[in-house]
Amino acid sequence: MKITLIHGQNHKGSTYHIARMTAEKISSNIEEFFFPRDLSEGCSGCLACLYKGREFCPRAEQVTPILNSMLSSDVIIIGSPTYVFEMTGHLKNFFEHIYTAWIAHRPEEAMFSKTAVVVSTAAGGGMKSVTKSMARQMFFLGIPKTYQLPFRVMAASWEDVKIKDKIIKKTDKIAREIVKKRKVTPGFKQKFIFSIMRSMQKKNDYAPLDKKYWEEKNWFRKDRPWKHIK
Ligand SMILES: Cc1cc2nc3c(=O)[nH]c(=O)nc-3n(C[C@H](O)[C@H](O)[C@H](O)COP(=O)(O)O)c2cc1C
C-alpha cells in the first residue's frame, strides 16, 4: 500500500511522531511532505485554477506533485498541531490550493476509493475541532473514509507526552483496520452531496471549465466517479 503523509508543520514534534507512526504501521511505502517547506507561499486568489485549470496556478510546480502523490496513494495521512483551535495556517493554505478538486468543482475519481487518517495534538483543547475540520476537507475531496485521531497531549514536546501508551494502542487499532479493510466506497451522504453538485453544475454558467469536466466525465448521464472503483 502506498501512503502520502502530509505534515502541516516543518518540525518533528508530537503530531509528527503520531502521524509517522500511524503510517509506518500500515506500510513502508511512504511519500512525505512538510508545510511550509514544500509549499511556502499562500494562495493569491487569482482563480486561475477555477477558470483556466490547476496547472495555471502560480504555485503549480509545488502543488501538483503533492496532489499527484495523494492520487496515487491508497491511504492519505495528514497531521497538524492545533494552533488557536484551528489547523495550522500552512496546512489550510495547501487545502486552498486544491479546492477545485472538491466535489463542488472538478473532483478526482481516484479520491473516491481512498482512506484518510487525520491527526491533531493540542496541549489543552481544540484538537477535536481540528480533526473534524481536516476530515471535512477529505470528505469534499471525495474521500469516503476518514479516521480522526485527536489527542490532548498536555505537552509542548513529544518527549514529555505521558499518554504514549494510549496513542500506541489507538494507532495500532486504526492501522489494523486499514490494512484489513482495503476497499472503501462513498456512503449516502457523499453520494447525496454529489447529486446536489450535479444539479448545480448542470446550471453552471460562471465556471465553464467545471461544467465541461462534468460533461466529459459523463456525470450528467449515468456515470459516477465511484463506479470505476475496483
Ligand atoms: C501558535 C500556537 C497556537 C497554539 N494553540 C493551541 C490551542 O489553541 N490549544 C491548545 O491546547 N494548544 C495550543 N498550542 C499548543 C500545541 O497545540 C501543542 O503543544 C501541540 O501538541 C504541539 O504539537 P507539536 O508537538 O506537533 O508541535 C498552540 C501552540 C502554538 C505554537
How confident is the model over 186-201, as pLDDT tens digits? 999 999 999 999 999 9
pLDDT of residue 225: 96
Q: What is the pLDDT of residues 102-133, one digit of tens each?
A: 999 999 999 999 999 999 999 999 999 999 99
Determine whether 30 is exposed, middle or buried from the number of CB atoms within 10 Å of its CB (0-12, 13-18, 19+).
middle
CA of 94 to the centre of ligand 1 (A): 19
pTM: 0.97
Does residue 217 sit within a domain?
no
What is the best residue among 83, 92, 133, 149 to mutate for testing ligand 1's pocket, by most ligand atoms within 8 Å of CB? 83
**Structural domain span for residue 27:** 2-186
pLDDT of residue 53: 98
Does residue 207 sit within a domain?
no
Does residue 46 sit within a domain?
yes
Q: Which atom of ligand 1 is nearest to the CA of 126?
A: 9
pLDDT of residue 229: 76
Instruction: Using pLDDT thresholds of 50, 70 and 90, give the confidence band for residue 51.
Output: very high
pLDDT of residue 107: 98
CA atoms within 13 A on the CB side of 170: 15
Ligand 1 is surrounded, with C-beta below 6 A, by: 9, 13-16, 81-85, 121-126, 153, 156
Q: What is the CATH number of the domain that holds 70?
A: 3.40.50.360
Mean pLDDT value across residues 163-181? 96
The three cell numbers locating residue 218: 459523463
Does residue 193 sit within a domain?
no
Does residue 116 sit within a domain?
yes
| CA-angle at 109, arms to 61 and 99, nearest 5° | 50
Does residue 175 register a pLDDT over 80? yes
CA of 147 to the centre of ligand 1 (A): 21
Mean pLDDT value across residues 199-222? 96
Does residue 55 sit within a domain?
yes
Which H helix or E strand runs over 165? Answer: helix 164-180
What total of structural domains would you count in the chain?
Answer: 1
Does residue 50 sit within a domain?
yes
DSSP characters for 187-219?
A: -HHHHHHHHHHHHHHHT--S-HHHHHHHHHTTT
Does residue 159 sit within a domain?
yes
Q: Which atom of ligand 1 is nearest to the CA of 125?
A: 11
